[in-house]
Structure formats: C-alpha cells, structure tokens
C-alpha cells in the first residue's frame, strides 16, 4: 500500500495545504510519495523532499503543467495513480478542479473533503453544509480522496529525507489554454492558514468600512474574511468569502463582525477554536455558536477593540 499526494504550489513555493494532506496520507500508510508537477519546479521539489514522513518525490517538469490545468494534470496523475492504493490532493480550488477528473479517468468514485481517517478505506466527511457527518467506505482499487486541510494538523515542513525522481511526461493534451490570472495582493496571512481570522458581513455597510477590519486584522496579525452577503454587495473580493462555497477555515480565533450567521457561513468557520461575534441584533444566529458575544454597534465596538489591544 502506498499513497500519492499531489503537491499544491504557486510561484516557486510549496502550498501550506500540502502539509495537511501529507498528514492525512500518513494516517493511511507510511509509504507516501509526493508529486510536484509544474514548470521550473526544482525549488519546490527540493522543499518537498524535506517534508517529514515523505519517502519519495516525483517531479514532472513540463510547460503543460505550468498553471495546473485540469486536462493536462489529470492525465498525468491518472497514469501515475494506477501504481498507488490512494491518491490524495488538498481540497483547494486547484485540487477540486483536477482530482474528480483523475477519479473518472481511473473509473472510481472520489471521496471529497475528508476530515478524518478511520482506516485505510473508511473516512469521515461533512455533508449538507456541515450539518451532518458521513462515514463512507470505498471499495475502489485506487482510492481518490480530497483532504480538507483544517481537519488535519500539518506535518513538519523540515526533517524529511525523501528521494527525488524525475518522471517522463505526456505533455499537453490540447484542450485548454491558460490566458492570465488576477490575484488579489495581500500582505496579511493566508485565510485558510491564519491563526486569527476577522470577518465582516453585510453589517459593514460599505467596502470603505472594511478598512476597520483590515486595521484590526493588522493589529492581531490576522487574515480578513467576509460573508457571502458582503462579497455579493461588493464590500470584499470573492476570494475572501468564508463558507460552504468559499473557504473553510478553523483558526484559533474567529471574530465575526456584522455577520448574522447563516447555515452556509457557519459551514465555513464553525470548527474554529474560539468564536467571537459582534452584532447589534442579539437574536442573530451567530450568537448560538459564539463563545463570546458582544451586542452593539460595530462602528463603536471595533475601534474600541482595536484600541484595547
């Protein structure tokens, strides 16, 4: 039994979710290989060999994988996957894009966003926006699994001594072309990896007012998130959305400001260790999950909080 983990990486650095995915793979087997596919990925592959617990790093260096296009990457992973009992990828937007394609090419069902490994073929995963937890068992020859990063503590990025193996690649299957990317620039910690997250909802009333949260976030070293209502109203960009259809976070501290707490939002943050809610409506559902609630006007309370820190 051996597992293949597909590394997440971007611009020459290994993505944090890779370490959580390796952690999940190590709960299944001690034979874990990591695939680094991309263009000019020497440095990423090098850092992958140092991940604790990884025995082998496979490197596929080809222009066809430069932007992790699903058509090219899935063809590569499906061809490699036949030699493994498990293929795992982080449930990031990249992983969610190519992994089901891999599963279908291998003619097996995929198990999405596992949060717990029970044994080598049994896993737990949330369904219905996290309102139920299903225990599922796979009889597939190759188990294709995406891993919710917040469900597993990351392994150490250093200390491993994996061997490096360059593999031959099939190249471009010719179905899709990358045009460009517009990435939001931010000096704050990445939302899914931050220890503290400050999120705003419709109660923020404008994108200018989100400035209050950015200031509070900077004071706390926190990432800033948003509810769907705030994103749809144009107060914050899409990639800041926390919830069932946005990012799933589980920080040490989650501060929800002007967020009512709809089911879909709670699905993205209710595994946070400590939840603080600031809302003027004391009946807001968010108070049912908050460890500490503060009822009042956020425009008074947020600056006060910032000053008190």
Rule CB under 8 A: which of 279-298 touch another protein? Answer: 282, 287-295
Q: Report, in Å, the least distance between residue 96 CB and another protein.
A: 5
Q: Report, in Å, the least distance between residue 14 CB and another protein.
A: 15
- Binding status of residue 213 toward another protein by CB under 8 A: no
Q: Are 250 and 271 in contact (CB under 8 A)?
A: yes
- Cα distance between residue 123 and residue 130, in whole Å: 15
- Binding status of residue 112 toward another protein by CB under 8 A: yes
DSSP string, 208-268: TTHHHHHHHHHHHT-EEEE-HHHHHTTSS-GGGBBSTTSB----SEEEEES----HHHHTT
Q: Report, in Å, the least distance between residue 166 CB and another protein.
A: 26
- Binding status of residue 105 toward another protein by CB under 8 A: yes
- Tell which residue, 96, 134, 92, 140, has the closest CA to residue 120: 140
Q: Which of residues 68-87 bind another protein (CB under 8 A)?
A: 69-71, 74
Q: Report, in Å, the least distance between residue 16 CB and another protein.
A: 11
Q: Which of residues 6-35 bind another protein (CB under 8 A)?
A: 10
Out of 20, 92, 169, 227, the residue judged to bind another protein by CB under 8 A: 92
103 φ/ψ angles, rounded to the nearest 5 degrees: -60, -45
Out of 40, 163, 176, 206, the residue judged to bind another protein by CB under 8 A: 176
Q: Report, in Å, the least distance between residue 164 CB and another protein.
A: 27
User: CA triplet 54, 223, 266: central angle to 5 degrees?
Assistant: 90
130: helix, coil or strand? coil
CB nearer to another protein: pick between 29 and 122: 122
Size of the site for another protein (CB under 8 A): 89
Q: Are 144 and 91 in contact (CB under 8 A)?
A: no
Out of 50, 100, 172, 205, the residue judged to bind another protein by CB under 8 A: 100
Out of 82, 83, 131, 211, the residue judged to bind another protein by CB under 8 A: 131
For 214, other C-beta atoms within 10 Å of its C-beta total: 16
Q: Report, in Å, the least distance between residue 66 CB and another protein.
A: 12
């Amino acid at each position: 039994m051996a597992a293949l983990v597909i590394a997440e990486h971007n611009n020459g650095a290994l993505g944090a979710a890779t370490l959580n995915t390796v952690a999940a793979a190590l709960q299944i087997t001690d034979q874990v290989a990591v695939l680094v596919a991309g263009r000019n990925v020497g440095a990423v592959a090098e850092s992958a060999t140092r991940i604790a617990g990884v025995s082998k790093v496979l490197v596929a260096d080809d222009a066809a994988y430069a932007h992790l296009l699903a058509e090219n990457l899935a063809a590569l992973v499906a061809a490699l996957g036949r030699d493994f009992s498990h293929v795992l990828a982080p449930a990031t937007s990249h992983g969610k894009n190519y992994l089901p394609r891999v599963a279908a090419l291998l003619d097996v069902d995929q198990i999405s966003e596992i949060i717990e490994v029970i044994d080598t073929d049994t896993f737990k995963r949330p369904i219905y926006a996290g309102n139920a937890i299903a225990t599922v068992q796979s009889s597939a020859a190759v188990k294709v699994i995406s891993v919710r990063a917040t469900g597993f503590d990351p392994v150490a990025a250093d200390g491993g001594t994996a061997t490096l193996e360059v593999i031959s690649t099939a190249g471009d299957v010719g179905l899709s072309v990358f045009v460009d990317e517009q990435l939001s620039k931010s000096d704050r910690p990445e939302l899914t990896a931050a220890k503290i997250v400050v999120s705003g909802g419709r109660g923020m009333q404008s994108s200018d007012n989100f400035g209050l949260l950015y200031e509070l976030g900077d004071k706390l070293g926190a990432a800033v998130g948003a509810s769907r209502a705030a994103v749809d109203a144009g107060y914050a960009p899409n990639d800041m959305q926390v919830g069932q259809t946005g990012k799933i976070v589980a920080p040490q501290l989650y501060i929800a400001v002007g967020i009512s707490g709809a089911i879909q939002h709670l699905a993205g943050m209710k595994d946070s260790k400590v939840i603080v809610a600031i809302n003027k409506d004391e009946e807001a559902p968010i108070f049912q999950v908050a460890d500490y609630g503060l009822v009042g006007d956020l425009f008074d309370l947020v600056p006060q909080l910032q000053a008190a820190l």
